[in-house]
Amino acid sequence: MLDQIDALRRQAETDLHAAGDSSALERFRVTYLARKGKIAELFDALRSVPADQRPLLGKHLNDLRTSVQALFDQRLAAAASHVQAAPALDLTLPGRRPPLGSRHPLTQVLDEIKAVFVSMGFGVADGPEIEDDYHNFGALNFPPDHPARDMQDTFFLNRTALLRTHTSPVQIRVMKEHAPPVRVIMPGKVYRNEAISARSYCLFHQVEGLHVDVGVTFSDLKGTLISFIKQFYGSATKYRFRPTFFPFTEPSADIYISCFVCGGKGCRLCKQIGWLEILGCGMVDPNVFKAVGYDSERYTGYAFGMGIERIALLRHGIDDIRLFYENDLRFLNQF
């Protein structure tokens, strides 16, 4: 019986050690210390032991019960203080709101421009940012000695690959892939080797447009772009077309709108001229059609290109283009 008492003590100590939470502790209490527990069983067995051995065994049994009870009480107290030490859980507190992102101001402008042109029946296409001389310049009728082909203005990755300097090469890719009619806008990032300042950055965004079909005229160009200006800048906006030159269009024009800060009187924003230049456009040069295999006797078309940063700068009165690329939340949270 002495062996049994020792074995039970060791078993009880192991079990108590393993009891990790309050329900395990309660199971321990029922198994060992309760009225029908294992210790009580041994007390019952004491009755059938010869009378002369009873006092000694009884003393051992009492010791066992006292020490197991003491160990148990200790563990119970420790578990209770552990529960109290944890911070009180207030289930009525409102939840924590996860911080919400917002659309970048350039994305907002781009989405609005897309919405206007999509509503006029344009599709949306894109092309690679790494281009070659042929798509970025050659097929767009740039002469071999054009200054844009210089390392000063263009980032060359190696002898043949460069970062596109405008979205116009996507025109070439679209026309090489699709027979006319085509009517698409082509938004994307472009890169220029400029000194970085508040006014210019090595990277910016453009939206290119192209419409080619039988019988497309300069009137279609004007109608479409004037409609864009009225929808995007407001129906009271005044505009003017001024002739200019691009290798890939003939004739070519720059479009200006009346300055929306001073209404045309002249201010710092419009550099006192009352007009803001917003895009370049023109009728696709027949040489471009030749490069992509379109019949320039049968088809005509217009193209246009505009910068996105400038629009966002003007709209929000932002005076430093670099802010768009720094990802400073104090700036971005305002949009």
Cβ atoms within 10 A of the Cβ of 135, count?
21
If one asks whether residue 122 binds ligand DAH (CB under 6 A), the answer comes out as no
For residue 267, the minimal CB distance to ligand DAH (Å) is 25
Question: Judged by CB under 6 A, does residue 309 bind ligand DAH?
Answer: no
With CB under 6 A as the contact rule, which of the stretches 4-12, 30-38, 98-106, 278-286 interacts with ligand DAH? 278-286
Element (H, E) at 197: none
Among residues 52, 67, 51, 50, the alpha carbon closest in space to that of 5 is found at 67
Say whether residue 305 binds ligand DAH (CB under 6 A): yes
Please report whether residue 208 would count as binding ligand DAH according to CB under 6 A: yes
Output 245 or 335, the one with its CB closest to ligand DAH.
Answer: 245
The piece of 15-23, 212-220, 299-307, 309-317 that touches ligand DAH (CB under 6 A) is 299-307
Using the rule CB under 6 A, is 136 a contact of ligand DAH? no
In 3-state terms, what secondary structure has residue 210? strand
Cα(first)–Cα(last) distance of the chain, in Å? 83
Cβ-based nearer residue to ligand DAH, 136 or 258: 136
- Smallest separation (angstroms) from ligand DAH to the CB of 316: 23
Residue 131, both tokens = 């281009």
Residue 154 binds to ligand DAH (criterion: CB under 6 A): no
Judged by beta carbon, residue 8 or residue 182, the one nearer ligand DAH is 182
Q: Is 281 in the site for ligand DAH (CB under 6 A)?
A: yes
Stretch that binds ligand DAH, among 23-31, 51-59, 74-82, 298-306 (CB under 6 A): 298-306
127 is a site residue for ligand DAH (CB under 6 A): no
**Number of residues that make up the chain:** 335
Residue 176: CB minimum distance to ligand DAH, A: 16
Q: Which stretch binds ligand DAH (CB under 6 A): 129-137, 266-274, 300-308, 309-317?
A: 300-308
Nearer to ligand DAH, 28 or 302 (CB): 302
What is the rounded distance in angstroms from the CA atom of residue 157 to the CA atom of residue 145?
19
Alpha-carbon distances, residue 109 vs 30, 176, 263, 304, 322 (angstroms): 72, 29, 22, 17, 17
DSSP 177-190: HSPSPEEEEEEEEE
Site membership for ligand DAH, residue 246 (CB under 6 A): yes
Rounded to the nearest whole angstrom, what is the least distance from the CB of residue 208 to ligand DAH in the complex? 5
Nearer to ligand DAH, 166 or 205 (CB): 166
Residue 303 binding ligand DAH, by CB under 6 A: yes
Q: Which span (55-63, 73-81, 227-235, 302-310) binds ligand DAH, by CB under 6 A? A: 302-310
CB of residue 284 vs ligand DAH: minimum separation in angstroms? 8
Tally DSSP H helices, then E strands, for the chain: 11, 9
Between CA 241 and CA 239 the distance in angstroms is: 7
| Dist. CA 279–CA 207, nearest whole Å | 10
3-state secondary structure (DSSP) of residue 208? strand
CA–CA distance, 291 with 305 (Å, rounded to integer): 20
Other beta carbons within 10 Å of 248: 22
163-192: contacts with ligand DAH (CB under 6 A) = 166, 168
Amino acid letter, 76 = L
Q: Residue 283: beta bridge partners?
A: 302
Tell me which stretch binds ligand DAH (CB under 6 A): 92-100, 195-203, 235-243, 276-284: 276-284
With CB atoms as reference, the residue minimizing the distance to ligand DAH is 305
In degrees rounded to 5, what are phi and psi of residue 103? -75, 140
User: Is the CB of residue 5 less than 8 Å from the CB of residue 57?
Assistant: yes
Contact 190, 170 (CB under 8 A): no
Which residues contact ligand DAH (rule: CB under 6 A)?
166, 168, 208, 246, 249, 280-282, 303-305
